[in-house]
């Protein structure tokens, strides 16, 4: 059996913020519109963990996302650890990751996440005026200070965390300010993802950036980063360097196939990806069908979609770096070239600007490694 990971939405779409660019809000409006309080119950939680731990993969990885997963409360995650210990075997490697907006993080949360070595993603778009542009409560209250407090608690308790920054109209032209803000605050692990969602008419939403803007952002970010590349880890840059070092990129956007994981909703429903939580893409439910069977079904119905490339992609000089990008960016309703990723021009611009540098760095790393042997 090929190993796979779990991406779990224990509180589904529920969140204590109402971010303008949140793609998961549509789940509330469509798939689970009739359920006002979607919270994972003990039956689903225990069955999920029992099945998954029983596979004894080299690494058993649980990713907890939302919505906002901390709405489940700390006792829920204490129960998660207890069940992982109950169904695990001696020496079994288990990893937990948590993506949070940081609003509910306090001393108890920070101590818990540190003790059990959670890898945490903290959503933060930059300085206060940038962050507050699209990341507020439903009453338009700012939560920036709460997010910064969460970061300070993570640092104080030595929680491993990275910053997840959405690139939108609020910050796309302020790359230097955003990067220096993160570095100044000691945030040395960063991930940047472009905002791309449709409005009610199927057109690109007002907060979105275009492909050229994103390309310029990535190039400017790279020029800042390469002045001291050992200081900061940026996922997109790590992916390119990994390729030239001959190891997996670690970013499914740029891999040949989508990442091997199952998306688990609060009630046990299973989907192929969190961008495809739709009735038409539902695979089944873990209470009715074993997870390994659902994963096989996912691979048959969804696993090869990324490999279906356009003629332009197949002939592209950058195919080996991007492999057509993320599927959801190809099928975006306002994509002028739906056979390719919406960000095709951005990636081409970025690869042209950076690939030689990454190749050179990879050769240096390999030569140093050879000398040490």
Residues involved in catalysis? 274
Q: CA 314 to CA 320: how far, in whole Å?
A: 10
The 10 Å Cβ neighbour count of residue 14 is 23
Q: Please, is 246 exposed, middle or buried when counting C-beta atoms within 10 Å of its C-beta (0-12, 13-18, 19+)?
A: exposed
Q: CA 171 to CA 102: how far, in whole Å?
A: 20
Pick the closest to residue 154 from 124, 175, 130 (CA basis).
Answer: 124
Q: CA 77 to CA 34: how far, in whole Å?
A: 26
End-to-end CA distance of the chain: 35
- Runs of H (alpha helix) within 246-343: 291-301, 311-315, 319-322, 327-330
Helix count and strand count (H, E) for the chain: 14, 10
DSSP letters of 266-291? TTSEEES-GGG-SGGG--EETTTS-H
Residue identified by tokens 């955003």 is 178
């Amino acid at each position: 059996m090929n190993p796979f990971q779990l991406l779990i939405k224990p509180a589904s779409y529920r969140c204590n913020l109402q971010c303008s660019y949140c793609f998961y809000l549509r789940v509330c409006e469509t798939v689970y519109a009739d359920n006002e309080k979607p919270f994972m119950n003990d039956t689903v939680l225990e069955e999920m963990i029992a099945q998954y731990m029983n596979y004894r993969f080299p690494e058993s990885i649980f990713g907890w996302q939302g919505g906002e997963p901390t709405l489940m409360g700390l006792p829920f995650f204490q129960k998660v650890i207890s069940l992982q210990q109950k169904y695990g075997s001696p020496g079994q490697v288990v990893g937990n990751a948590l993506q949070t907006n940081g609003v509910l993080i306090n001393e108890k949360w920070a101590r818990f996440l540190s003790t059990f070595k959670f890898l945490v993603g903290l959503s933060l778009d930059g300085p206060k005026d940038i962050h507050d542009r699209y990341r507020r409560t439903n009453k338009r209250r700012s939560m920036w200070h709460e997010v910064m407090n969460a970061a300070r608690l993570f640092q104080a308790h030595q929680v491993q965390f990275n910053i997840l920054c959405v690139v939108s109209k609020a910050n796309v032209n302020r790359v230097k300010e955003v990067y220096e803000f993160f570095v100044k605050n000691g945030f040395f692990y960063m991930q940047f993802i472009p905002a791309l969602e449709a409005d009610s008419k199927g057109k690109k939403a007002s907060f979105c950036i275009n492909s050229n803007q994103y390309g310029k952002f990535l190039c400017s970010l790279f020029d800042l980063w390469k002045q001291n590349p050992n200081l900061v880890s940026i996922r997109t840059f790590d992916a390119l360097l990994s390729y030239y070092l001959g190891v997996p990129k670690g970013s499914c956007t740029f891999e040949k196939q989508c990442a091997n994981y199952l998306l688990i909703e609060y009630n046990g429903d299973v989907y192929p990806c969190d961008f495809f939580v739709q009735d038409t893409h539902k695979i089944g439910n873990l209470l009715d069908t074993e997870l390994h069977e659902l994963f096989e079904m996912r691979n048959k119905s969804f696993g090869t979609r990324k490999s279906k490339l356009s003629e332009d992609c197949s002939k592209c000089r950058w195919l080996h770096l991007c492999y057509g990008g993320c599927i959801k960016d190809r099928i975006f309703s306002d994509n002028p070239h739906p056979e390719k990723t919406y960000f095709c021009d951005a990636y081409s611009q970025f690869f042209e600007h950076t690939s030689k540098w990454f190749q050179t760095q990879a050769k240096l790393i390999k030569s140093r490694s050879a000398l040490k042997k």
